[in-house]
Amino acid sequence: MKRLLLALALGGLALACQAADLATDIAARLADAPLLRGQFEQKKSLAGFKQALVSSGDFLLWRDHGLSWHTRTPFDSRLTLTRHGITQSQGTTTLKMDAKKEPGLLLANDILFALLSGDVSLLAQRFQMSGKLVGAEGWQLRLAPTDAALTKVFKSIELSGARFVQDIRLEDQNGDLTAIRFSQTKQGPAATPEEVKNFAD
């Protein structure tokens, strides 16, 4: 029994070391960008429905400030996430949620920022990681949640990319699938006065 326990312990240690090495290798391939802009296309497949819901638009990910997710089709809306909460605007309607009153928002925001920016060190704190390097620049990563709150929502998350995250696939516990593809991702230019105001509001 002691030998079995020792073998299991050593096996777990080996897996942890492999995950740490993978995280380090992927982080080395990702661009360290304080501000990212790009386009996205999102396809959400709901369990029990054949047709996926498709939306597209552009995003701004600004380190230490937040995320602006601007959906342009099929309808115009904007979702702004900061450490303080979420603001959703559509037409003349604006909905705000305060992270202080909704504790789960802070965790959701942290995970979303980490996924979009490829912050593997933060992801490693809440997910079991597996994956591989692809070619000279690419990488693939699969995440299985270890955090109790995340386990209730996600079954698995898959990411792939090179200097930037290019694809994210989220599988929910209820069977829903969300696939997001990013394109034309680039560093900068700096946030405009209007964008600064959006994050400050």
pLDDT tens profile 138-176: 999 999 999 888 899 899 999 999 999 999 999 999 999
Domain that holds residue 188: 2-200
pLDDT digits (tens, 9 = 90+) for 117-134: 888 888 988 999 999 999
Q: How confident is the model at residue 3 (pLDDT cuts 50, 70, 90)?
A: very low
CATH number at residue 85: 2.50.20.10
pLDDT of residue 19: 58
Number of Cα atoms under 13 Å in the Cβ half of residue 60: 20
Q: How far is CA 185 from CA 7, 61, 182, in A?
A: 45, 10, 7
Higher pLDDT, 141 or 16: 141
Number of domains in the chain: 1
The two structure tokens encoding residue 98: 């305060």
CA 12 to chain centre: 26
Separation of first and last alpha carbons in the chain:
60
Cis omega (within 30 of 0) on the bond before 189?
yes
